[in-house]
Structure 1
Amino acid sequence: MDIFEKVKEIVSEKLHISPERITLESNFKKDFEADSIDLFELVMTMEEAFDVELDDDAVVGIETVADVVHYLQEKM
């Protein structure tokens, strides 16, 4: 499974969104109405799923699914 597919699976599960609605361009707050707690839970789950530690400064700048995928690609 590639990074995008795994991220999509996590976002779908945590935010209760159909995987078909999730694209690289999807914005967590605008498209999925995610709040800061949702984003925190997503980060924690992704850290565990990908066995990486995400920097707090970088996490603040994450707005879209593509942001997460690109960041994870850099960390791996």
Structure 2
Amino acid sequence: MLEKMRQILAEQFNCEEDTITEETNFKDDLGADSLDLFELVMALEEEYSIEIPADDLTNLTTVGSVIDYLKDKGVEA
């Protein structure tokens, strides 16, 4: 799942895939603002055919937290 996340994030944030780890923080490391995060959520919802409620977004601050969230929702890698 990390590899797919790297692809999505590299496209969304115009960065190199190999710089993204599970510890990568969206705001601190990738400079994401609220619009960036909204677009990322839309991309994840489309990619994994799930809905991510806005209330859940505050807990999704790193790549690892998103992977854990998706796994908790039953998304397969």
Per the normalisation by structure 2, the TM-score is 0.91
Equivalences, count? 74
Encode CA deviations 1:11-69: one digit per residue, 9 max, x unaligned. Answer: 01010010011000000100011111000000000000001111211112211000110
The structure where helix makes up a greater share of residues is 1
Paired residue for 2:43, among 45, 57, 60? Answer: 45
Moved >3 Å (runs of 4+): none
- 3-state SS of 1:66 partner: helix
5+ residue gaps, structure 2:
none
21-30 vs 54-63, which moves further: 54-63
Distance 1:61 1:73 in 2: 14
Task: State the percentage of identical aligned residues.
Answer: 42
Letter of the 1:8 partner, please give it: R
Residue aligning to 1:73: 71
Per the normalisation by structure 1, the TM-score is 0.92
Q: Aligned-pair RMSD on alpha carbons?
A: 0.8
